[in-house]
């Protein structure tokens, strides 16, 4: 048992290194989208969008890194607005908007 515990620290360090190196790869995996605003939850900086081509609805979250065009904050949007942008999928599965433009 003593030999196994000797390997735990290096294995943990290697796993942490892999995770740290993998995070920047997510930034290159931005997904472009366009659609119509279905719902705005301004206090949570979330916008639900319906894609007219796929008929799917999804929610993007805005943060301080989101590049905005045609609006200053999520609360400036209203149901029916046409939008486009890019999002990345966070490790927890949330869609984080990297860009959002009102058309």
The model's pLDDT over 52-80, given as tens digits with 9 standing for 90+, comes to 988 899 999 999 999 999 999 999 999 99
**pLDDT value for 4:** 57
Q: What is the pTM of this model?
A: 0.71
Say if 21 falls within a structural domain.
no
φ, ψ of residue 55 in degrees (nearest 5):
65, 15
Say if 70 falls within a structural domain.
yes
pLDDT digits (tens, 9 = 90+) for 8-17: 766 676 655 4
Question: Which residue segment(s) compose the domain that 60 sits in?
Answer: 31-102
**pLDDT value for 88:** 96
| CATH code (residue 64) | 2.40.50.320
The token pair at 20 is 């740290």
φ, ψ of residue 25 in degrees (nearest 5):
-65, -30
Say if 2 falls within a structural domain.
no
**pLDDT value for 34:** 96
Say if 22 falls within a structural domain.
no
């Amino acid at each position: 048992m003593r030999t196994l515990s000797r390997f735990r620290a290096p294995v943990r360090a290697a796993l942490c290194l892999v995770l740290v190196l993998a995070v920047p790869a997510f930034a290159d995996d931005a997904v472009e989208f366009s659609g119509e605003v279905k719902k705005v939850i301004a206090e949570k900086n979330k916008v639900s969008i319906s894609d007219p081509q796929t008929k799917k609805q999804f929610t993007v979250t805005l943060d301080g890194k989101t590049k905005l065009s045609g609006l200053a904050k999520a609360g400036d949007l209203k149901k029916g607005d046409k939008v486009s942008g890019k999002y990345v999928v966070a490790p927890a599965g949330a869609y984080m908007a990297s860009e959002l433009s009102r058309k």
